[in-house]
Structure 1
């Protein structure tokens, strides 16, 4: 149960959600408008309006109404006359009033409570339970708070015992936070193998800079895995082109329970940063040894807070191995007076690290402001928005954009199949230099310009109207003669 009263906005959101038929809201919602994408201009069209050719069934209408009712929580994009078209959730979404209220409450507690730490410590443990629920972990003890994904991945990697000649398997398009953590092991005689993913799909081009990038499965990795493979590191959903990798299949084929590696465990370490908050996550089904993620993307929190999941089997396999940085939170026999004593001979006493769960990776001083923000948003995400509904809403938006890009002759460089692509990311094969300059000149449109083209990514606050507006931006760019890759 929640260890604090819900804030007014959270109570209001839950009340609106429970009254989900809300005829009054439907009566006050802007009427559905069919807007021709060929005539779309930034700022035109009604909220929730359809693109030409899109049929709305009852489930689509339910999702449209539901997410439109929460758009007001994001003031940057909610005004009908807003000149901001924010399509960059995969980088960092605009903040929202649920987070704002939690931060205000944190500040108020610091101002007026003589024992604020008691409130924040209770919030920390409630947030730990909510995170475990969010990713379907076995229990809250499997969750450690970290500063970010890097700290979570690096802490786990540094805890493993390595022998010269061991190898790990990574993807060529993996996030640098995953890659550099493993590359640091090369000086210890560990080989880091690189799996090429660029060009796995049709139209493959050069070394990661052209062609369609596809998701990977166990068969993709099989040529790279042998009896000296100790670990596989990859994201469940890639930041690069929105690939949704078959991590569950990879864990089943090569993980510790697969019996396919001459009895030697292969640990699968996953980055969930582009997954948590955008779609349901089940780490038990994924079968990973550990997973790390930051909370400032799908979970909309301020930067500076992440989480690390360590499966019970992985925690047992690690045993008493210390993490690279040992905080007093990791010590099981920490003296109550915080004075570390020695033995009779003048040396230090024995240090017993926590072996159960993930707490040995946690530092004593973490961002409690981030914790209370995460607590508020996790409640909102799990109990009001709903992970399944968020995924369905985002998939609808990326599906509509993909369809319109097909009509305009703009290629998508990530996977096209629903089960192999991110719900929230589309990467458009457009010349980065020319289109980047065009968007900077236009102003107001927020996407990521990367090596592949334009990465468009949606959040819960986006709508069909946003897709329509962006299609208008694309059409005008094409009319200017900007190139398609």
Structure 2
């Protein structure tokens, strides 16, 4: 029997408001610090090895004992239970309800959420259901994640789709050696010159993977959804790191992986499709039809094709038609366990406030050291867990060396990203790493 890791009780519901960082008090800071310090032991990589400074949650966090226990329990069921699949399917539906709570989806996700292999499959599934005529266009930005942009580009030949890419990356930066001070979030006005009567869709990340800005998805939806334009949001860098309300945003669909903020193993994503978008798409046929997505499959599992009198194919309602039969059930079990822990113990509001506190603390220290932070600084304009420091590429080798830190070097510099397991002391340790690098002559 696998023992259950010790966790503390449910969180306070009074986390600092997202738009009021100046209201933080010493008591609230201490409450958050104490709360998340109590859970650090759940991540052995950072709690048991003092040489590890892991600041790369936006890529993939280290696993934790909550997930480990769920996988061990799944494995034990596979070893000793002669018929475990019924229980695993129940866990899948529990995971669906929990993910729906994370994003405030309609009907507990019963018809609005499909599990997919990853974000890319979720994006591509929705994209292939949008109807295009030759000459129609879709609008994306140049800093969008490649997996969304590539899905749209693949339709240029077969569907005659025009992909309009909005330039948001200045030729000179921002980044190391650039004179530009910061990244700007994308708004409805940013896109307006590129949207016209032939625009059928907009693809946009709610929080970006490289710069960490929070794009104004709510404003984009308010401006363009009423015109029949589908808005597809990549929410991978928001789910599990910050609160998300897909209904308040007004998106047509949201795609996200569960292996980042929700800590599941790789191989599991989710696609949310709003009821309004499903109606507008006109009962879409999935690009790949699985028996899981068919409502009138005969119990014999025999599909008979007779000709003109075939029984019409009845797809499952809503997003469930997009789900495949063999979704990774071990990843589902892990996702259910961690998402329950995230919602009922850590608390999304507290996680968000904790991460904002860490990135703000790092920003203040960078100001002191003369290191430019090129990701946005205001809470309403950025992901809570990401800060991008305009450091030259030479810092990459330094960070990978002894006494360094696990971060991601990208086009903008060093992307530092925190998880629930990180602490103010981790920020202090990283600042000492930065100070030592500067002392050794590395450029800033």
**What band does the TM-score fall into relative to the shorter chain?**
over 0.9
- Aligned residue for 1:194? 165
SS of equivalent residue, structure 1 residue 446? coil
SS of equivalent residue, structure 1 residue 381? helix
Alignment RMSD, CA only? 1.9
Matched, 1:96 2:64: yes
Aligned partners of 2:163 and 2:231: how far apart in 1?
14
SS of equivalent residue, structure 1 residue 192? strand
Deviation of 1:321 after TM superposition, in Å, equals 2.4
Aligned partners of 1:371 and 1:18: how far apart in 2?
23
Question: Which of 3, 17, 42 is the matching residue for 2:9?
Answer: 17
Query: 1:400-419, aligned counterparts within 5 Å?
Result: 400-419=361-380
- Aligned residue for 1:353? 315
Please say if residues 279 and 423 of structure 1, whose CA atoms lie closer than 8 Å, have aligned partners that are also in contact: yes
Aligned partners of 2:421 and 2:80: how far apart in 1?
34
Please say if residues 403 and 433 of structure 2, whose CA atoms lie closer than 8 Å, have aligned partners that are also in contact: no
Matched, 1:230 2:200: yes
Aligned partners of 2:342 and 2:377: how far apart in 1?
27
Matched, 1:289 2:241: no
- Could you say if the C-alpha distance between residues 269 and 127 of structure 1 is closer, same or farther in structure 2, counting changes exceeding 3 Å? same
Deviation of 1:96 after TM superposition, in Å, equals 0.2
- Could you say if the C-alpha distance between residues 158 and 112 of structure 1 is closer, same or farther in structure 2, counting changes exceeding 3 Å? same
Please say if residues 10 and 346 of structure 2, whose CA atoms lie closer than 8 Å, have aligned partners that are also in contact: no
- Aligned residue for 1:384? 345
Please say if residues 116 and 323 of structure 2, whose CA atoms lie closer than 8 Å, have aligned partners that are also in contact: yes
- Aligned residue for 2:332? 371
Question: Which of 212, 229, 244 is the matching residue for 1:242?
Answer: 212
Deviation of 1:343 after TM superposition, in Å, equals 2.1
Residue deviations 1:417-465 (CA, integer Å, cap 9, x gap): 1100110000100002x10111222355100011211000000000000
Question: Which of 123, 127, 135 is the matching residue for 1:153?
Answer: 123
Deviation of 1:319 after TM superposition, in Å, equals 2.4
Deviation of 1:414 after TM superposition, in Å, equals 1.4
Deviation of 1:413 after TM superposition, in Å, equals 1.4
Aligned partners of 2:350 and 2:175: how far apart in 1?
33
Aligned partners of 2:386 and 2:312: how far apart in 1?
50
Deviation of 1:332 after TM superposition, in Å, equals 2.1
Aligned partners of 1:344 and 1:402: how far apart in 2?
67
Aligned partners of 2:423 and 2:347: how far apart in 1?
17
- Aligned residue for 2:19? none
- Aligned residue for 1:87? 55
Aligned partners of 2:69 and 2:404: how far apart in 1?
26
SS of equivalent residue, structure 1 residue 394? helix
Aligned partners of 1:286 and 1:453: how far apart in 2?
30
Please say if residues 197 and 208 of structure 1, whose CA atoms lie closer than 8 Å, have aligned partners that are also in contact: no
Residue deviations 1:21-50 (CA, integer Å, cap 9, x gap): xxxxxxxxxxxxxxxxxxxxxxxxxxxxxx
- Aligned residue for 1:427? 388
Please say if residues 341 and 349 of structure 1, whose CA atoms lie closer than 8 Å, have aligned partners that are also in contact: no
- Aligned residue for 1:37? none
- Aligned residue for 1:77? 46
Deviation of 1:471 after TM superposition, in Å, equals 0.3
Deviation of 1:220 after TM superposition, in Å, equals 1.1
- Aligned residue for 1:479? 439
Aligned partners of 2:349 and 2:10: how far apart in 1?
16
Aligned partners of 2:75 and 2:34: how far apart in 1?
34
Matched, 1:399 2:395: no
Aligned partners of 2:101 and 2:334: how far apart in 1?
17
Aligned partners of 2:11 and 2:106: how far apart in 1?
32
Aligned partners of 1:96 and 1:117: how far apart in 2?
25
Aligned partners of 1:360 and 1:223: how far apart in 2?
35
The alignment's TM-score, normalised by the length of structure 2, stands at 0.92
- Could you say if the C-alpha distance between residues 481 and 165 of structure 1 is closer, same or farther in structure 2, counting changes exceeding 3 Å? same
Deviation of 1:195 after TM superposition, in Å, equals 1.2
- Could you say if the C-alpha distance between residues 344 and 173 of structure 1 is closer, same or farther in structure 2, counting changes exceeding 3 Å? closer
SS of equivalent residue, structure 2 residue 45? coil
The answer for unaligned runs of 5 or more in structure 2 is: 13-23
Matched, 1:109 2:71: no
Deviation of 1:155 after TM superposition, in Å, equals 0.4
Matched, 1:8 2:4: yes
Aligned partners of 1:217 and 1:103: how far apart in 2?
41
Please say if residues 206 and 216 of structure 2, whose CA atoms lie closer than 8 Å, have aligned partners that are also in contact: yes
Runs of 4+ that moved beyond 6 A: none
The answer for unaligned runs of 5 or more in structure 1 is: 1-5, 21-54
Aligned partners of 1:290 and 1:88: how far apart in 2?
27
Q: How many residues align?
A: 426
Question: Which of 149, 152, 172 is the matching residue for 1:205?
Answer: 172
Considering only CA atoms, is the larger Rg found in Structure 1 or Structure 2? Answer: 1
